[in-house]
Amino acid sequence: MKFSTKAMRLAGVTALLATTMAYSPAQAADDTIKVGVLHSLSGTMAISETTLKDTVLMLIEEQNKKGGVLGKQLEAVVVDPASDWPLFAEKARELLTVDNVDVMFGCWTSVSRKSVLPVIEELNGLLFYPVQYEGEESSKNVFYTGAAPNQQAIPATDYYLEELGVEKFALLGTDYVYPRTTNKILEAYLKDKGIAEDDIFVNYTPFGHSDWSKIVADVKALGADGKKVGVISTINGDANIGFYKELAAQGISADDIPVVAFSVGEEELSGLDTTNLVGHLAAWNYFMSADTPANAEFIKTWHAFTGDEKRVTNDPMEATYIGFNMWVNAVEAAGTTEVDPVIDAMIGQKYPNLTGTEAEMLPNHHLTKPVLIGEIQADGQFDIISQTEPVPGDAWTDYLPESAVLESDWKDLKCGMYNTETKTCVQMKSNY
Amino acid sequence: MKNTFLARHPSVIVFILILAVITLLATVFSEAYGTGLLPTNYVKILGKTLCLCLIAIAMDLVWGYCGILSLGHFAFFGLGGYMIGMWLMYARTEDIVIASMTNAALPPTPDEVRDAIGTQIFGVVGGSDVPLVWTFAHSLPIQLALVVLVPGLLALVFGWLAFRSRVTGVYLSILTQAMTLALSLYLFQNDSGLRGNNGLSGLQNIPGLTDMPQSVLSIWFMWGSALALGVGYVFAAWMVSGKFGNVVKAIRDDEARIRFLGYSVEAYKLFIFTITAVIAAIAGAIYYPQAGIVNPAEIAPIASIYLAVWVAIGGRGRLYGAVIGAALVSLLSSWFTGGQAPDVPLGFYTIKWVDWWQVLLGLSFVLVTLFAPRGIAGMFDRLVRKDAA
Amino acid sequence: MLRPLLIAALLAFATPPLALAQDAAAPSDTPAASEQVLDDTTPETPATLGPLQAILQEHQKDVAKASRRTVDEVIAAVREAGLPQGLTFLERWGDRELWQREEDGLFFFTKKAEGQNLTLIDIDTGEEVGTVSKRDMTNLKPNSGVRTVIASSLVASQLEDPDPARRRQALEAIERRAEKDHLEPLRASIETETDPVIKARKERLLRVITISFGQTTENRVEAIRSFSQDLSIDARAALNPLVVTRIGYSEGEPEGVNVARILTPGRTIGREEAYALLVNDDKAIAARTRAERKAALEANIEEGKVGGVPVSELSSQEARDRAYSNLVDEGKAPPFVTDETMDAELAKYTFYEAYADSNTEVTTAAAETLDSIDQYVGLNRFFSLVLDGLSLASIYFLAAIGLAITFGVMGVINMAHGEFIMIGAYTGYVVQQIIPNYTVSILVALPLAFVIAAAAGIALERLVIRHLASRPLETLLATFGVSIALQQIAKNVFGTQARPLTSPSWLDGAWVINDVVAVSYIRIAIFVLAIIFFALLLFVLNKTRLGLEVRAVTQNPRMASSMGINPDRINMLTFGLGSGIAGIAGVAIGLFAKVTSELGQAYIVQSFMTVVVGGVGNIWGTLAGATMIGFLQKVIEFFNPSNTLAAQTYMIIFIIIFIQFRPKGIIALKGRAAGD
């Protein structure tokens, strides 16, 4: 083995000599800072992710107008992982080793993030992940600017319990990680709150499911034992259209059986007529209808950038906005784009969000975020009816016994999965 | 025997030589063992492409030589990936778990280790117990055997059922497609115990070799893929060259006549179907540790259709045609959809290849079927013959 | 131009407050007028607050941030004051028409003024008191929990309201949240009710709330029994809480409780569960869990040993148990609970399930009534399942019927068939963009979808399929290529996002037979469409010249051609017909689901299955196939309600196996027509 390595090296040296003239180091002095954009531009996720690519490009353009970062202009390197999960890993490696980007913004689905994780941890890259997700993860190389379950699911459930007096829960979801984990956390949480197991109805449907009549009828029938029923929906993407159409067809009003959705935003609602859905709910950390000057400015810039007055903004866009600006400030503070100093400078960064409060990057690489609950309106926008103070994001949920003992702290403990009972770092790198 | 076989088939030697030269060149220019001119990323792409060439050979055997248009061979490829992936994930997690438990007051019991592994692997998909299908995941030899056994058995049972009731032609194609769809839907379920939509990930980190950088691993895997492809090619060439091959080809051309001649058509078909499924599974088992993640989307029916597209474009009934088709189309696909291909401005409209590549691929497929049924290899053959003449 | 408006504005100020409330729409919002008002009268805090305002200011926080838990207090305060404007306030508050001024926290009703401004209306007097910018005001939006409480408090006053809409509102409020106080007003209002529909609803509702709140046991039992044939959800919702049980135990016979049944540990109640009840009340020692025992071991490590066993040996459960029992012997840990001790403890008590309600007559009546309802519900649920299956079958049939012609009758395999469905759906979408009237647009879209999809089909037939006439596998692949290309073109043109295709309002809603059985009108429409096309195709194929020629060409093209039939023309027409029907199916499917570029792909495998299972060459077969697959899927879903994905997997496996036994499908052609 050793010999063969040597032999290989020898061969390599020979080849090197043969191609001396052609070879030049990749890290030639550049006067731009490269920003990788790793969002699908084709395939099933393109619809959601293209918007985020445009957001990053817009933010880069704005930042360059202000003089860039550290006196250098920012340059976007856009690749297309085409909604193909293994391709995410390949493209991430390409961005980090071939294009030598200093930071990446990207991914939407959890599986794409899990695909990219080993690569960026191996090559010590830096990724900003802007989508609400199921938690149970904290990587040194990733900053999670979307909501963790305790910043979306738990407060929405509290709203159901406290404000609407819901006693019986239907947890409907698409069959994949985010709904599975979220529902598992919610089930544990609801049992904690004294809801009996029989009063929690769980159902999973495939992606793009369209035949909802039976499920909606089942939900309706839950009301037969005299308890107030509420639906918590983690139904993803297109399937929502059939679901909401069936709700409307069966005449389920928000006053009788409210539905709160965690994956339905302004973008999804533009695919259907919302007049029959007025009053149903969604929980996010941002709504386009937020009435603040910063948001008005953001929407104006967005419309100017896309040249389309009808384009909506949504929660992951705000998460990208916060993440990008924090990164800019962290780079300025660290005085370099080197990954390790920037990671250190990121923790504790504060930046005003678009809903009138301030986001802070916590040592567990999650943000503080206010939780907003909005009611669907006839024009496809949300009417914000409840807004909390910023809630700190929790990487490992407190409501599952095996996660409750875990903690993430990249500042003092330098560990993303620290067991507070045994006082050991379970793993330095993520287990994907 | 082998000498005579190779002597009769000089194309096999040419193929092996070309394969060896490509692999050697890649090593010489690699980051780990050479000049570093070829980034590890491209070494990985090369390695994966070689695996795709191998499954294309399997597809060519079953379709080009035996006339069974299987739209399900990617299911076997994916299953192979799943089988090896289970060991990769389990063993890697076991290392992490045991390392994290060394500081515990009491030494861990086997049950505790297993529970902790379960939490680590399945916690993310809302479970915590290790499902039954993972019973042998701790053992590399068993999982390696399963790489061959599980897809092989699936193919055997499915093929037996299908061929026995004389399902042929397009019906068989649709049935294989339904099988793929059923399998991918099954794997999409969280309850299948294989992590649902997330699939198995982080497979590029080989347990026990954690200190070896990816640049080195990728070379080793590339060599492994090349070796598998070489052996597969020789095996396939050997198989189709003898009497067995003649019977198989005859089945393709006129099944009824062969049956009347007294051959057990069903047995031949079943054999080809199963053996190609096993080749596909082996290709998958080498492919996915390089790709890093295997999940149900890989098994979706469209993947198997693309496989047929590669073989058709490359040229059916010629092994090197399948290889050319797979390599060319898959590399072109990733080049066009990767956003690297330059856009074509037409003034009133800009053709973005990200958007239009699929259209081009689909239409070129129609054109190949209509005008060049023998694919690229067919045209190549014609040129060679002309030279000879 | 300005003058009359100014006069109107002045008049408005002078009119008495009550009249003004109705005048909300008066055209007082002229730019000049409102700006002037804005300039002249900076909002002033009145020196003295109106009585209602004063009450509300006391509860300022609870009004501004209303919650279900605190709103009762506010309502009580408002009602106690007995102000006439109190009711109006509650109604408008519930309707989300209350605003709060940010600077001083006072509450107002408002009226839209010019631009971003609002005209303030005093909540006590109803007078306009100024105009302010919207930015300085917050609209208070009590959530639906709060609104339910408010509506419930308004019931008594609304039940005899002259406006039937208000009366219905009151009834809805009772349905959502019934209270004891509602019983008498409801009973009283029935006499004077003039509207027969509302009257019937009131009478029924009275029975429902009598179940929970009736004064005498006879009343309640009578009300309960009256529902024994009624499966409506509200009646069951009133009955079920009566039979809620809890598990209890007693030494000796249970006393003072309304026992539903006695439980036997190990049979009707788990031993562990029963034991946990005892532990909970400190009547028994808790069994130590494995984790607790481990903690005890860890706490007792002495010089590398626990209970005499070296720590390094404790990597198996047996060794740990041994060490623990040593600890127990040394008195350092609480003992194990063995099965015998557990059984002995359990034997000391009687476990039972008791109704929460202590009234035996009521609980018995409720339990019996529910039993009788349950049978009825079961029957209806079966009926509902049948309807669901029928609906799904009709959708599959509609998706597959085009294929039944091209694949089934002509024997041409067309993998781009799904894309013709998609083309139809997008046609519907585009038509709806041009013609805003949903009814007209659907009527235009249906034939248009037929024409466009048929044209696409004919083009495909002439350009591709005809040239691959005797090579079915190649046809399959080439049409796959077309399918991939068409899908991507649709993505490029329309984007990957789902597009809305909205059904006309007369197809909204559902045909509700009762609270268990309901079918949405859109599904009924699809069902009817499927029947129409089935009949139409049967007619075309069996009774027309075209049909005859199609069958002739399919069975023997050469013979047909020598009989003077032009097979090329017939193939083209048939293919156009099949594709066109796919286009119409696309509109129908788009209406009930969604329009995306993957719409066709989602149905293609299922459609082929339908045709193959049903039997090729015959429309009856397709019908049989669709019916079987539709019902099968619903039945599997019924048995496994929590996972629809599994249902689809099992169904495909079933189909694969089914084809083993009937490779030619349910309705197989016999003789020469079967061909191969």
Q: How far apart are the C-alpha atoms of A350 and A356, rounded to whole Å?
A: 13
Residue-wise pLDDT for A74-86, tens only, equals 999 988 888 889 9
Check whether C14 has a pLDDT greater than 80: no
Among candidates C141, C384, C497 on the partner chain, residue whose Cβ is nearest the Cβ of A271: C497
Burial A335-359 (b: 16+ CB within 10 A, else e): eebebeebbebbbebebebbbebeb
| pLDDT value at residue A224 | 87
| C513–A contact, CB cutoff 8 A | no
Q: How far apart are the C-alpha atoms of B282 and B287, rounded to whole Å?
A: 9
Are the Cβ atoms of C641 and A165 closer than 8 angstroms?
A: no
Please compute the mean of the pLDDT values over residues C344-373 and round it to a whole number: 88
Torsion C332-C338-C342-C343 (CA) sign: negative
| B118–C contact, CB cutoff 8 A | no
| pLDDT value at residue A335 | 93
Q: Chain C residue with minimal CA distance to B164?
A: C660
User: What Cα–Cα distance (Å) separates residue B61 from each residue in B64, B319, B323, C49, C333?
Assistant: 6, 8, 12, 92, 69
Among candidates B106, B186, B373 on the partner chain, residue whose Cβ is nearest the Cβ of C314: B106
Q: How far apart are the C-alpha atoms of A127 and A144, rounded to whole Å?
A: 9
Check whether B48 has a pLDDT greater than 90: yes
Sheet with strand A32-38: strands edge to edge:
A73-79, A32-38, A103-106, A127-129, A142-144
| pLDDT value at residue B196 | 85
Please compute the mean of the pLDDT values over residues A185-214 and round it to a whole number: 88
Pairing of strands A281-284, A259-261: parallel
Are the Cβ atoms of B186 and C605 closer than 8 angstroms?
A: no
Are the Cβ atoms of A272 and C508 closer than 8 angstroms?
A: no
Q: In whole numbers, what is the pLDDT of chain C averaged over residues?
A: 83
Are the Cβ atoms of A114 and B201 closer than 8 angstroms?
A: yes
> Taking CB atoms and an 8 Å cut-off, how many pairs form between chains A and C?
137
| Mutation to test the B interface, candidates C322, C597, C649, C651, most B Cβ within 10 Å | C649
User: What Cα–Cα distance (Å) separates residue C311 from each residue in A423, B114, B170, C294, C298?
Assistant: 19, 20, 67, 12, 9
| pLDDT value at residue C670 | 56
Check whether B389 has a pLDDT greater than 50: no
Interface of A with B in 10-69 (CB under 8 A): 11-12, 14-16, 19, 22-23, 41-42
| pLDDT value at residue C266 | 82
Confidence tier at C6 by pLDDT (50, 70, 90)? very low
Looking at per-residue pLDDT, the higher value among B171 and B58 belongs to B58
Residue-wise pLDDT for C637-654, tens only, equals 888 765 666 777 788 788
| pLDDT value at residue C641 | 60
Looking at per-residue pLDDT, the higher value among B70 and C608 belongs to B70
Residues 6+ apart with CB under 8 A from B89: B121, B137, B200, B201, B202, B203
Looking at per-residue pLDDT, the higher value among B386 and C652 belongs to C652
The total number of residues shown for chain B amounts to 389
Check whether A22 has a pLDDT greater than 80: no
Q: In whole numbers, what is the pLDDT of chain B averaged over residues?
A: 88
| pLDDT value at residue A432 | 66
Residue type, C567: P
Confidence tier at C673 by pLDDT (50, 70, 90)? very low
Please report residues of A whose CB lies closer than 8 A to that of C500. 241, 271-273
Among A149-163, A211-225, C263-277, the range with the most confident prediction by mean pLDDT is A149-163
Are the Cβ atoms of C488 and B105 closer than 8 angstroms?
A: no
Check whether C505 has a pLDDT greater than 90: no
Interface of B with A in 68-87 (CB under 8 A): none
What is the distance in angstroms between the Cα of B252 and the nearest Cα belonging to chain C?
A: 12
Check whether C26 has a pLDDT greater than 70: no
Q: What residue ranges do the domains of chain A occupy?
A: 153-261
| pLDDT value at residue C9 | 45
Please report residues of C whose CB lies closer than 8 A to that of A271. 497-500, 594
| pLDDT value at residue C8 | 46
Please report residues of A whose CB lies closer than 8 A to that of C496. 44, 46-47
Interface of A with C in 201-220 (CB under 8 A): 202-206, 208-211, 213-215, 217-218, 220
Q: How far apart are the C-alpha atoms of C605 and C276, rounded to whole Å?
A: 53
Interface of B with C in 80-99 (CB under 8 A): none
Are the Cβ atoms of A177 and B119 closer than 8 angstroms?
A: no
Residues 6+ apart with CB under 8 A from C623: C397, C534, C614
Residue type, B208: G
| C45–B contact, CB cutoff 8 A | no
Residue-wise pLDDT for C116-154, tens only, equals 888 888 888 888 888 888 888 888 888 888 988 898 888
Please report residues of C whose CB lies closer than 8 A to that of A255. 144, 147-148, 176
| pLDDT value at residue B80 | 96
Residue C347, token pair as written in the block: 């034997």
Please report residues of A whose CB lies closer than 8 A to that of C67. 162-163
Confidence tier at A5 by pLDDT (50, 70, 90)? very low
| pLDDT value at residue A353 | 94
Are the Cβ atoms of A80 and B338 closer than 8 angstroms?
A: yes
Q: In chain C, what percentage of residues exceed pLDDT 70?
A: 91
Residue-wise pLDDT for A353-407, tens only, equals 999 999 999 999 999 999 999 999 988 899 998 899 999 999 998 988 888 888 9
Are the Cβ atoms of C67 and A162 closer than 8 angstroms?
A: yes
ipTM for the predicted complex comes to: 0.89
Residue-wise pLDDT for A72-120, tens only, equals 999 999 888 888 899 999 999 999 998 899 999 999 988 999 999 999 9
Check whether C256 has a pLDDT greater than 60: yes
Least confident residue range of A234-243, B255-264, B287-296, C527-536:
A234-243
Among A228-242, B141-155, B300-314, the range with the most confident prediction by mean pLDDT is B141-155
Please report residues of C whose CB lies closer than 8 A to that of B191. 643, 646
Confidence tier at C46 by pLDDT (50, 70, 90)? low
Residue-wise pLDDT for B301-344, tens only, equals 888 988 998 998 888 888 999 999 999 988 888 787 766 677 77
| pLDDT value at residue A79 | 87
Please compute the mean of the pLDDT values over residues A43-60 and round it to a whole number: 88
| pLDDT value at residue C642 | 59
Confidence tier at B146 by pLDDT (50, 70, 90)? very high
Confidence tier at A9 by pLDDT (50, 70, 90)? very low
Among candidates A86, A177, A181 on the partner chain, residue whose Cβ is nearest the Cβ of B293: A86
Among A235-249, C253-267, C413-427, C482-496, the range with the most confident prediction by mean pLDDT is C413-427
| pLDDT value at residue C1 | 44
- The pTM of this model reads 0.85
Check whether A8 has a pLDDT greater than 60: no
Residue-wise pLDDT for C357-368, tens only, equals 888 888 989 999
| pLDDT value at residue C644 | 65
Check whether B125 has a pLDDT greater than 60: yes
Q: In chain A, what percentage of residues exceed pLDDT 90?
A: 56
Tell me if residue C391 falls in helix, strand or coil: helix
Tell me if residue B145 falls in helix, strand or coil: helix
Q: How far apart are the C-alpha atoms of C566 and A164, rounded to whole Å?
A: 70
Question: Looking at chain B, which subunits does it touch, using at least 3 CB pairs closer than 8 Å as the criterion?
Answer: A, C
Check whether B191 has a pLDDT greater than 50: yes
| C465–B contact, CB cutoff 8 A | no
Are the Cβ atoms of B185 and C605 closer than 8 angstroms?
A: no
Confidence tier at C676 by pLDDT (50, 70, 90)? very low
Please report residues of B whose CB lies closer than 8 A to that of A427. 96, 100
Check whether C584 has a pLDDT greater than 90: yes
Check whether C461 has a pLDDT greater than 50: yes
| B69–C contact, CB cutoff 8 A | yes
Confidence tier at C267 by pLDDT (50, 70, 90)? confident
Check whether C500 has a pLDDT greater than 60: yes
Check whether C275 has a pLDDT greater than 50: yes
Tell me if residue C626 falls in helix, strand or coil: helix
Q: In chain B, what percentage of residues exceed pLDDT 70?
A: 96
Are the Cβ atoms of A276 and C240 closer than 8 angstroms?
A: no
Check whether A125 has a pLDDT greater than 60: yes
Please report residues of A whose CB lies closer than 8 A to that of C598. 44, 208
Q: In chain B, what percentage of residues exceed pLDDT 90?
A: 46
Check whether C612 has a pLDDT greater than 90: no
| C398–A contact, CB cutoff 8 A | no
Are the Cβ atoms of A213 and C67 closer than 8 angstroms?
A: no
| C19–B contact, CB cutoff 8 A | no
Q: Chain C residue with minimal CA distance to B373?
A: C474
Residue type, B192: S
Question: Looking at chain C, which subunits does it touch, using at least 3 CB pairs closer than 8 Å as the criterion?
Answer: A, B
| pLDDT value at residue C18 | 39
- Cβ-count burial of A112 within 10 angstroms (0-12 exposed, 13-18 middle, 19+ buried)? buried
- DSSP line for B26-71: HHHTBTTTS-S-B-HHHHHHHHHHHHHHHHHHHHIIIIIIT----S
Please report residues of A whose CB lies closer than 8 A to that of C593. 210, 241-242, 245
Q: At what angle do helices C599-614 and C567-592 cross, to 10 degrees?
A: 120
Residue-wise pLDDT for A143-168, tens only, equals 999 999 999 999 999 999 998 999 99
Check whether A23 has a pLDDT greater than 80: no
Are the Cβ atoms of B362 and C474 closer than 8 angstroms?
A: no
Among candidates A42, A175, A425 on the partner chain, residue whose Cβ is nearest the Cβ of B189: A175
Residue-wise pLDDT for A302-322, tens only, equals 999 999 888 899 999 999 999
Q: Chain B residue with minimal CA distance to C309?
A: B106
Contact C366, C294 (CB under 8 A): no
CATH no. of A153-261: 3.40.50.2300
Are the Cβ atoms of B34 and A8 closer than 8 angstroms?
A: yes
| pLDDT value at residue B387 | 55
